[in-house]
Amino acid sequence: MTFYGTEIRSRLLLGTAQYPSPQVLADAVRAAAPDIVTVSLRRESGRLREGQDFWGLIRGLGARVLPNTAGCHSVKEAVTTAQMAREVFGTPWVKLEVIGDADTLQPDVFGLVEAAKILSEDGFEVFPYTTADLVVAEKLLEAGCKVLMPWGAPIGTGMGLNDVYALRSLRAHFPDVPLVVDAGIGKPSHAAAAMELGYDAILLNTAVAKAGDPVMIARAFAQAIEAGRAGYLAGPIEPRDMAAPSTPVFGRASFA
């Protein structure tokens, strides 16, 4: 799997917010062994030197950083945050969020496409957090995105895959585009189900950070994602309406 020409070994991307402590975060990252961790930019850090210990912790984990524009509600805000993040973290990668609804945290897809185009033209490699909409996906690709990150369900809900049909359609329409389910995953079984649909990776945060044992569930998610990917590649049988005996009926003994 490659993102913008960079080879990625782990298909689990892990967020770094809301953990009970820095030590739990570090232990969860080590248990999950992701190649990529997402980090949101706190604007006050540059002025007050806050967050430096956190940034040092992230660097020490050895994973590639994917900055995000979490909490941005306008194109200008998202673009400005992305530009600041590029300076702070030294990477052209950015997970682009432009939130349109405060209750569901659903992306503003119109602003998202606009911001993606601006950032792509500015040399960014954009990972857009979007809905599982085919038309929006096409517009994001036209805007320069080479990865798409559709939601499974609203951020932090743990509801799993709300619209399997839409996710399956997205995979079928864009077979060569890396697709990452981002948001809404609550259980390892949800992650496995997404991987069985043919998705390339899963991005998690709340499901790990807020679990009773973040370290244990981080490891469980890593295992589930690996199992789901293997299941997809193995070509599982298609569901059918009628029973099909697993034991052959021809040649069985006949008792008159």
Q: Is residue 95 part of a domain?
A: yes
Q: Looking at the predicted structure, is the pLDDT value of residue 44 above 50?
A: no
Query: Residue 13: beta bridge partners?
Result: 36, 203
Model confidence, pTM: 0.88
Nearest to 110 by CA among 66, 162, 73: 73
Q: Catalytic annotation on 76?
A: no
Taking every pair of C-alpha atoms in the chain, what is the biggest distance, in angstroms?
Answer: 92
Domain around 137: 2-233
Displacement of CA 59 from its chain's centroid (Å): 20
pLDDT tens readout for residues 100-148: 988 888 999 999 999 999 999 999 999 999 999 999 999 999 999 999 9
Confidence band (pLDDT; 50, 70, 90) for 40? confident
∠ CA 65-16-79, rounded to 5°: 55
Nearest to 97 by CA among 124, 122, 118, 77: 77
Q: Looking at the predicted structure, is the pLDDT value of residue 45 above 80?
A: no
Q: Write down the residue that tokens 């899963």 correspond to.
A: 202
pLDDT tens readout for residues 168-213: 999 999 999 999 999 999 999 999 999 999 999 999 999 999 999 9
Query: Between 79 and 256, whose confidence is greater?
Result: 79
Count of Cβ atoms closer than 10 Å to residue 117 Cβ? 18
Q: Write down the residue that tokens 């009926």 correspond to.
A: 249
CATH number at residue 103: 3.20.20.70
Q: Is residue 202 part of a domain?
A: yes
Confidence band (pLDDT; 50, 70, 90) for 48? very low
Rounded mean pLDDT of 69-73? 92
Query: Between 43 and 212, whose confidence is greater?
Result: 212
Q: Is residue 27 part of a domain?
A: yes
Binding residues for 1-deoxy-D-xylulose 5-phosphate: 156, 183-184, 205-206
Binding residues: 156, 183-184, 205-206
From the list 76, 95, 146, 210, the catalytic residue is 95
Count of Cβ atoms closer than 10 Å to residue 212 Cβ? 6
Q: Looking at the predicted structure, is the pLDDT value of residue 249 above 80?
A: no
Segments of the chain assigned E as strands: 2-3, 6-7, 12-15, 36-40, 64-68, 93-96, 125-130, 149-150, 180-182, 201-204
Q: Is residue 247 part of a domain?
A: no
The residue type found at 11 is R
Q: Looking at the predicted structure, is the pLDDT value of residue 46 above 60?
A: no
Q: Is residue 253 part of a domain?
A: no
Q: Is residue 63 part of a domain?
A: yes
Q: Are 128 and 145 in contact (CB under 8 A)?
A: yes
Q: Write down the residue that tokens 């085919």 correspond to.
A: 134
Nearest to 99 by CA among 79, 59, 72: 72
pLDDT at 160: 93
Q: Is residue 209 part of a domain?
A: yes
Q: Write down the residue that tokens 């690709």 correspond to.
A: 141
Task: Sort strands 6-7 and 2-3 into parallel, antiparallel or unpaired.
Answer: antiparallel
Please tell me the distance from the alpha carbon of residue 164 to that of residue 101, in angstroms, as a whole number: 22
Q: Is residue 248 part of a domain?
A: no
| Residue 225: both structure tokens together | 């994602």
Rounded mean pLDDT of 64-73? 93
pLDDT at 171: 96
Domain count, the chain: 1
Please tell me the distance from the alpha carbon of residue 229 to that of residue 224, in angstroms, as a whole number: 9
